């Protein structure tokens, strides 16, 4: 019978993410998320390994052995070395830990060296006991890698100073302190858990957000074939410089120690008839504290509920749901840079399967790079076929975990309230893996979910991303500002403050901001008013000089940095066959220099949703025998999105190729416009030489020139003067004589060739 990861975690009494980390360490590849399943034999093996790591094993009756502490080794002060001395933190208040004498002499030295070194705010690990010793036989000493996992002291014969030979020309990694594990892994182009495994092999235990010492980083880099250098910060770099002009700081990065866990923000998306609204209603009323609070009395576009943790039923966790009008609002917020959603629940009807709006919602979620949980709804329907949804989504690259993929699928019935609690549990487990955190003890920053004009004035529903929003704060949002007069939660109650991942309706702004707009807190209304005026001025200037974001024609002359060589497309056609043919032809365009990506394709007319997705993703819409819905043209014009319509496929493909070529940086080509031969050299009384020349071809023009002597380039620069007799001229044509003086060059010789040239941009080809 298959066993799920979170069931093993619940049985062992540890978080699911620790079980997943242990599974990865043991090479169990199909353990990817908390709800992944293992066969019974593999599950029992994993449980044994976890028990060996987290639970002390009973010692033989003949020789009682006290539990040994977990070993945390610290780096040595010398570079290229790592200490192997045992470092431990005892369980009790005692200051020292002693090992009882063992039966064998060879093991009597174990545990004598006990010390402690602090590695940031690292959680205390449970004590670990060695394996039982066999009777009448000396214990076999474990390998070094196993000791790192079990927490056993290093054997006497183990090398105490691990070194790795690195060539002098090996790649260099240079970092400034502190050396964070995540940052070092990025520099090494490795996954953080791989680097953590290397650290564990050195008996150094640190998570991805903790720092390590320079010697440890040096050893880990050497092991992976890199040289390491620690760059020192320049003197005074950390000092605050006094400026005569006060700069308004709207946001700032938070330090890792200030971050605290926050609730996940979830958006439910899917086809209109697949039960999305019903599921939202069921989830909203499934809040176990709703009865105590008086129930839901007001719709504010978002709400927060409390649900039991699937592994710890007595522990309540919060989930914030964005109750927005589907993927259109989701994309509109993303177009303004507001990626506020942590998890997307994609609702698919078990009776209908994947529909066009399902694919639109999937495209929006994938473009935002948000984790997806699929809720297969209506399993109570007479014609329900949950396998159909899994098969159709697998064809689109979304594979369920039961079939070896990474996407969580949950079969639910919103109408019968079946497995809704399981769906919420999967959300909490996914959020646990994401390790969502924010700093609540700072000025609030967040985004607008909904806004409107009511009897009391402008209102806006805000989602707080970090910090705490309080009544009385001076807020700026878009080009509007005001003091927060009141905060109202989804239950219609006034509250005094709202922390991270909270959704509240705010009263006090002097206008209605747009969805997705970011709000910030300022010290005074005067500063807020000044900043709003600056924003209004900037918006007017941008409106005047607004240009289209991207067109196929402008791509031909556009240059971008190397990391942006991607042409994103949305394809709509009249039939599914045409869509598949166009997408297949586009995907067959081969180029090592630039990529093309179809972020969404479908059958039907070009809708407003397509325009908002293109705006958010900076894509071009291609239509083949496709119509444009009413109002889409205005949206596309406002958002700067280009829509191209075609009736012949090969014309569409040719323009896509031209657009891809336009993303390549142009080549610079020198074009010689004229040549002149040096016939005589004149020395000037005030210093310097003038070359008396005869123009042999083309024309000599003031500007870029170079001197070629017997086929070799001896100078390249610009002209200082160009004269015809005593007159300064701009150009001299072929067959005429002239005097040339170059900027910074006087070493002319008779017979030298002076070339006049220009540089032109030449478009690259695929």
Q: Report pLDDT digits (tens) over 191-239.
A: 888 888 888 888 888 888 888 988 899 999 988 889 988 887 655 444 4
For 360, 367, 553, 583, 585, the CA distances from 598, given in Å and listed in that order, are 13, 11, 19, 7, 11
Taking 60 as the threshold, does the pLDDT of residue 142 lie above it? no
Average pLDDT for 687-714: 92
Confidence of residue 326 (pLDDT cuts 50, 70, 90): low
Q: Where would I find the beta strands (DSSP E) of 587-726? A: 595-603, 620-624, 643-646, 667-683, 689-701, 704-709, 712-724
pLDDT band for position 328 (cuts 50, 70, 90)? low
**pLDDT the model gives residue 54:** 53
How far is residue 641's CA from residue 634's CA, in Å, rounded to a whole number?
Answer: 10
Count Cα neighbours of 658 within 13 Å in the Cβ-side half-sphere: 12
Average pLDDT over residues 649-668: 82
Q: Give the lowest-confidence range in 92-106, 243-257, 341-355.
A: 92-106
How far CA 139 is from CA of 55, 103, 146, 521, in Å, comes to: 20, 10, 15, 65
| Listed residue (58, 50, 56) closest to 12, CA to CA | 50
Q: What average pLDDT does range 2-19 have in this prediction?
A: 87
Please, are residues 621 and 646 in contact by the beta-carbon 8 Å criterion? no
Q: Which residue has the higher pLDDT, 511 or 409?
A: 409
| Alpha carbon 512 to chain centroid, angstroms | 31
Between CA 766 and CA 763 the distance in angstroms is 10
Residues 409-414, mean pLDDT to the nearest whole number: 93
Task: Report the C-alpha gap between 582 and 4 in whole angstroms.
Answer: 42
Please give the structure tokens belonging to residue 419.
């497995």
43-78 residues labelled b (16+ CB within 10 A) or e (exposed) = beebbebbeebbebeebeeeeebebbbbbbbbbbee
- For residue 233, what pLDDT is reported? 60
pLDDT score of 749 more than 50: yes
| Residue range 346-359: mean pLDDT, rounded | 89
Tokens representing residue 125 in the block: 């690990």
CATH number for the domain running over 445-544:
2.40.30.10
Q: Degrees (nearest 5) of the Cα angle 389, 393, 398?
A: 135
Contact 571, 579 (CB under 8 A): yes
What does pLDDT average to over the chain?
78
Band of the pLDDT at 148, cuts 50, 70, 90? very low
Q: How many residues does the chain have?
A: 766
Q: How far is CA 635 from CA 346, 611, 632, in A?
A: 26, 7, 5
Percent of the chain with pLDDT over 90: 29
Contact partners, residue 398, CB within 8 Å, separation at least 6? 362, 372, 374, 405, 407
- What burial class does residue 613 get, using C-beta atoms within 10 Å of its C-beta: 0-12 exposed, 13-18 middle, 19+ buried? buried
Instruction: Tell me the mean pLDDT in the region 1-14.
Output: 86
pLDDT attached to residue 504: 92
Residue 580 has pLDDT above 90, yes or no: no
pLDDT category of residue 166 using cuts at 50, 70 and 90: confident
Domain 552-662 CATH superfamily: Translation initiation factor IF- 2, domain 3 (3.40.50.10050)
**pLDDT band at residue 544, thresholds of 50, 70 and 90?**
low
| 699: confidence class by pLDDT, cuts 50, 70, 90 | very high
Q: How far is CA 12 from CA 5, 9, 49, 125, 315, in A?
A: 11, 5, 11, 15, 17
Output the pLDDT for position 566: 85
Report whether 707 contacts 745 (CB < 8 A).
yes
Flag whether pLDDT at 129 surpasses 80.
no
Q: What is the pLDDT of residues 253-301, one digit of tens each?
A: 888 889 999 999 998 888 877 788 888 888 877 654 444 444 434 566 7
pLDDT of amino acid 563: 52
Judged on CB neighbours under 10 Å (0-12, 13-18, 19+), 591 is middle
Q: Is the pLDDT of residue 550 over 80?
A: no
| pTM assigned to the model | 0.50
pLDDT the model gives residue 766: 62
CATH number for the domain whose boundaries are 667-762: 2.40.30.10
Which pair of tokens denotes residue 52? 């060996």
**281: alpha, beta or left? (left if phi > 0; alpha if psi -120 to 50):** alpha
Cis? peptide before 178, omega within 30° of 0: yes
Looking at the predicted structure, is the pLDDT value of residue 764 above 80? Answer: no
Host H or E run for residue 270: strand 265-270
Which residue from 318, 319, 327 is spatially nearest to 274, judged by alpha carbons?
Answer: 327
pLDDT at 560: 46
- For residues 363-391, give the mean pLDDT: 91
Which residue would you say has higher pLDDT here, 522 or 166? 522
Between 338 and 18, name the one with better pLDDT: 18
Task: State residue 104 phi and psi, 5-degree precision.
Answer: -90, 145
**For range 375-403, the mean pLDDT:** 92
Question: 258-438, what's its fold?
Answer: Rossmann fold (3.40.50)
Task: Give the three-state DSSP class for 651.
Answer: helix
Asked if the model's pLDDT at residue 668 lies above 90, the reply is no
Sorted by where each begins, the domain ranges of the chain are 258-438, 445-544, 552-662, 667-762
pLDDT of residue 643: 94
Q: Comparing 55-59, 256-260, 614-618, 760-764, which segment has the lowest mean pLDDT?
A: 55-59
**Six-digit token string for 556:** 């031909």
Is there a common fold for 258-438 and 667-762?
Answer: no
| Phi and psi at residue 274, to the nearest 5° | -100, 15
Report whether 758 contacts 703 (CB < 8 A). yes
Give the pLDDT mean for 411-426. 92
Query: What is the SS3 assignment for 113?
Result: coil
pLDDT at residue 441, as a whole number? 93
**CA gap 503, 344 in Å, rounded:** 17
Paired sense of beta strands 445-454 and 518-522, if any: antiparallel
Better-predicted residue by pLDDT, 451 or 545: 451
In angstroms, the CA 182 to CA 279 distance is 38
Alpha helices in 436-557 (DSSP H): 525-544, 552-555
pLDDT tens digits along 720-740:
899 998 889 999 999 999 999
pLDDT band at 557 (very low <50, low <70, confident <90, very high): low
Name 643's Cβ contacts closer than 8 Å, sequence gap at least 6: 606, 611, 620, 621, 623, 628, 632, 633, 636
Cβ neighbours of residue 195 under 8 Å, at least 6 residues apart?
181, 184, 185, 188, 220
Confidence of residue 114 (pLDDT cuts 50, 70, 90): very low
- Rounded CA gap, 554 and 244, in Å? 43
Distance CA 460, CA 255 (A): 30
What is the C-alpha separation between 175 and 260, in angstroms, rounded? 27
How confident is the model at residue 90, as a pLDDT? 39
The pLDDT > 70 percentage for the chain reads 76
The pLDDT value given to residue 465: 92
Range 678-690 average pLDDT: 89
Per-residue pLDDT tens digits for 469-483: 999 999 999 889 999
Across the range 145-164, mean pLDDT stands at: 43
Residue 122 has pLDDT above 80, yes or no: no
């Amino acid at each position: 019978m298959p066993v799920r990861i979170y069931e093993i975690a619940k049985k062992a009494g540890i978080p699911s993410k620790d079980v997943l980390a242990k599974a990865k360490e043991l090479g169990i590849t199909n353990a990817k998320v908390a709800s992944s399943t293992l066969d019974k034999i593999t599950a029992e093996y994993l449980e044994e390994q976890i028990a060996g790591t987290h639970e002390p094993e009973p010692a033989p009756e003949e020789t009682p052995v006290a539990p040994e502490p977990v070993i945390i080794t610290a780096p040595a002060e010398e570079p290229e070395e790592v200490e192997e001395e045992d470092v431990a933190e005892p369980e009790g208040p005692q200051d020292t830990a002693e090992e009882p004498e063992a039966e064998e002499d060879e093991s009597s030295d174990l545990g004598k060296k006990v010390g402690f070194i602090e590695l940031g705010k690292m959680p205390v690990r449970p004590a670990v006991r060695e394996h039982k010793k066999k009777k009448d036989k000396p214990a076999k000493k474990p390998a070094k890698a196993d000791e790192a996992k079990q927490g056993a002291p290093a054997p006497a014969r183990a090398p105490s100073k691990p070194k790795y030979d690195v060539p002098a020309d090996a790649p260099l990694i240079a970092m400034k302190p502190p050396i964070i594990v995540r940052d070092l892994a990025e520099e090494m182009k490795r996954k953080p858990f791989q680097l953590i495994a290397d650290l564990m092999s050195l008996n150094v235990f640190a998570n991805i957000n903790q720092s390590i010492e320079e010697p440890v980083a040096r050893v880990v880099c050497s092991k992976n074939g890199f040289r390491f250098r620690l760059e020192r910060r320049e003197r005074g770099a950390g000092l605050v410089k006094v400026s005569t002009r006060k700069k308004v700081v709207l946001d700032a990065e938070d330090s890792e120690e200030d971050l605290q866990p926050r609730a996940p923000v979830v958006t439910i998306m899917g086809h209109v008839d697949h039960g999305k609204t019903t599921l939202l209603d069921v989830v909203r009323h499934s809040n176990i504290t709703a009865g105590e609070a008086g129930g839901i009395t007001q719709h504010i576009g978002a709400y927060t509920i409390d649900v039991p943790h699937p592994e710890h039923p007595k522990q309540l966790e919060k989930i914030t749901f964005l109750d927005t009008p589907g993927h259109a609002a989701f994309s509109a917020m993303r177009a303004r840079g507001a990626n506020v959603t942590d998890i997307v629940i994609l609702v698919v009807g078990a009776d209908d399967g994947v529909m066009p709006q399902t694919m639109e919602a999937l495209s929006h979620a994938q473009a935002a790079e948000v984790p997806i949980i699929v809720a297969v709804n209506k399993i109570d329907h007479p014609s329900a076929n949950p396998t159909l949804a899994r098969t159709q989504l697998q064809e689109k690259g979304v594979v369920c975990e039961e079939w070896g993929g990474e996407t969580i699928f949950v079969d639910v019935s919103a109408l019968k309230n079946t497995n809704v609690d399981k769906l919420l549990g999967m959300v909490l487990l996914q959020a646990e893996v994401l390790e969502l955190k924010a700093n609540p003890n700072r000025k609030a920053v967040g985004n607008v979910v909904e806004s409107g004009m009511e009897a009391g004035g402008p209102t806006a529903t805000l989602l707080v991303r970090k910090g705490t929003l309080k009544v009385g704060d001076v807020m700026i949002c878009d080009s509007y500002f005001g003091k927060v007069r009141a905060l109202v939660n989804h239950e219609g109650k006034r509250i005094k403050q709202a922390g991270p991942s909270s959704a509240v309706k705010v009263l006090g702004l002097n206008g209605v901001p747009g969805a997705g707009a970011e709000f910030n807190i300022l010290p005074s209304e005067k500063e807020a008013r000044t900043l709003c005026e600056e924003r209004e001025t900037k918006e007017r200037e941008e409106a005047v000089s607004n240009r289209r974001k991207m067109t196929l024609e402008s791509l031909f002359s556009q240059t971008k940095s190397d990391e942006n060589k991607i042409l994103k497309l949305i394809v709509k056609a009249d039939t599914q066959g045409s869509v598949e043919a166009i997408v297949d032809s586009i995907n067959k365009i081969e180029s090592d220099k630039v990529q093309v990506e179809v972020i969404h394709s479908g059958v039907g007319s070009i809708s407003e949703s397509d325009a908002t997705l293109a705006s958010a993703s900076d894509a071009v819409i291609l239509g083949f025998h496709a119509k444009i819905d009413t109002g889409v043209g205005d949206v596309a014009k406002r958002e700067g999105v280009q829509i191209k319509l075609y009736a012949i496929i090969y014309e569409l493909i040719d323009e896509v190729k031209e657009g891809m070529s336009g993303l390549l940086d142009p080549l610079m080509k020198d074009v010689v416009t004229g040549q002149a031969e040096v016939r005589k050299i004149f020395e000037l009384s005030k210093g310097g030489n003038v070359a008396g020349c005869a123009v042999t071809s083309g024309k000599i023009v003031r500007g870029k020139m170079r001197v070629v002597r017997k086929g070799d380039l001896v100078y390249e620069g610009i002209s200082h003067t160009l004269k015809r007799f005593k007159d300064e001229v701009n150009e001299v044509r072929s067959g005429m004589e002239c005097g040339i003086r170059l900027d910074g060059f006087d070493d002319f010789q008779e017979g030298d060739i002076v070339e006049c040239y220009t540089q032109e941009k030449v478009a690259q080809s695929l």
